[in-house]
Amino acid sequence: MDRLKKIFKEKSDELKVEVKSLLKEHGGKKVDEVTLRQVFGGMRGVKSMVWTASNLDAEEGIRFRGYNIPQLREKLPTRSNDNEPLPEGLFWLMLTGELPEADDVRWLSDEWERRGAVPQHTYDLLDSLPDNTHPMAQLSAAIVSMESESVFSARYAEGMSKHDYWDATYEDTMNLVAKLPRVAAYIYRKSFYGNDQINPDNRLDWAGNFAHQLGYDDPKFRSLMRLYLTIHADHEGGNASAHTTHLVGSTLSSAYLALASGMNSLAGPLHGLANQEVIKFIFEMLEELCTDDPSKEQIAAFVQKKLDSGKVIPGYGHAVLRQPDPRFMTQKGFAERNIPDSKIVNVVWNLFEVVPPILEGLGKVKNPWPNVDAHSGALLVHFGLKEYTYYTVLFGVSRALGVLVSLCWSRVLGFPLERPKSVTMDWVREVIK
Ligand code: HAX
Rounded distance between C-alpha atoms, residue 172 and residue 260, angstroms: 13
- CA 366 vs CA 34, 58, 245, 253, 293: distances in Å: 19, 11, 27, 36, 30
Dihedrals φ, ψ of 349, to 5°? -70, -35
Q: Name the residues annotated as catalytic.
A: 271, 318, 373
Rounded distance between C-alpha atoms, residue 81 and residue 75, angstroms: 16
pLDDT bin (cut points 50, 70, 90) of residue 30 is very high
Residue 354 has pLDDT above 90, yes or no: yes
Protein residue with its CA nearest to atom 16 in ligand 1? 364
Rounded distance between C-alpha atoms, residue 6 and residue 138, angstroms: 34
| 130 close to 26: Cβ distance less than 8 angstroms | no
CA of 280 relative to ligand 1 center, distance in Å = 17
Rounded distance between C-alpha atoms, residue 51 and residue 320, angstroms: 16
Percent of the chain with pLDDT over 70: 100
Residue 278 has a pLDDT of: 97
pLDDT bin (cut points 50, 70, 90) of residue 19 is very high
Residues with CB under 6 A from ligand 1: 239, 270-272, 274, 312-319, 359, 364-367, 371-373
Residue 117 has pLDDT above 90, yes or no: yes
What is the tens place of the pLDDT at every residue in 60-110?
999 999 999 999 999 999 999 999 999 999 999 999 999 999 999 999 999
What is the tens place of the pLDDT at every residue in 370-385?
999 999 999 999 999 9
| 36 close to 428: Cβ distance less than 8 angstroms | yes
| 220 close to 79: Cβ distance less than 8 angstroms | no
Residue 324 has a pLDDT of: 97
Residue 131 has pLDDT above 90, yes or no: no
Of 306, 316, 367, which is best to mutate to test ligand 1, by the most ligand atoms within 8 angstroms of its C-beta? 316
For residue 61, give the H/E element and its range: strand 61-64
Q: What is the CATH number of domain 274-382?
A: 1.10.230.10
Strand, helix or coil at 433?
Answer: coil
| 388 close to 279: Cβ distance less than 8 angstroms | yes
Q: What is the mean pLDDT of residues 401-417?
A: 97
Strand, helix or coil at 292?
Answer: coil
First-to-last C-alpha distance (Å) of the chain: 59
CA of 263 relative to ligand 1 center, distance in Å = 20
Mean pLDDT of the chain: 97
Of 243, 351, 365, which is best to mutate to test ligand 1, by the most ligand atoms within 8 angstroms of its C-beta? 365
Residue 211 has pLDDT above 90, yes or no: yes
Rounded distance between C-alpha atoms, residue 312 and residue 259, angstroms: 28
Q: Which atom of ligand 1 is nearest to the CA of 307?
A: 2
Q: What is the mean pLDDT of residues 11-21?
A: 95
CB neighbour class for 198 (10 Å; exposed up to 12, middle 13-18, buried from 19) = middle
Residue 326 has pLDDT above 90, yes or no: yes
DSSP 119: P
Q: Which residues of 175-186 are buried (b: 16+ CB within 10 A; e: fewer)?
A: bbbbbbbbbbbb
Residue 369 has pLDDT above 90, yes or no: yes
The residue ranges of every structural domain in the chain are 274-382
Residue 175 has a pLDDT of: 98
What is the residue-wise DSSP string for 80-118? TT--SBPHHHHHHHHHHSSPPPHHHHHHHHHHHHHT-PP
What is the tens place of the pLDDT at every residue in 299-321?
999 999 999 999 999 999 999 99
Residue 46 has a pLDDT of: 95
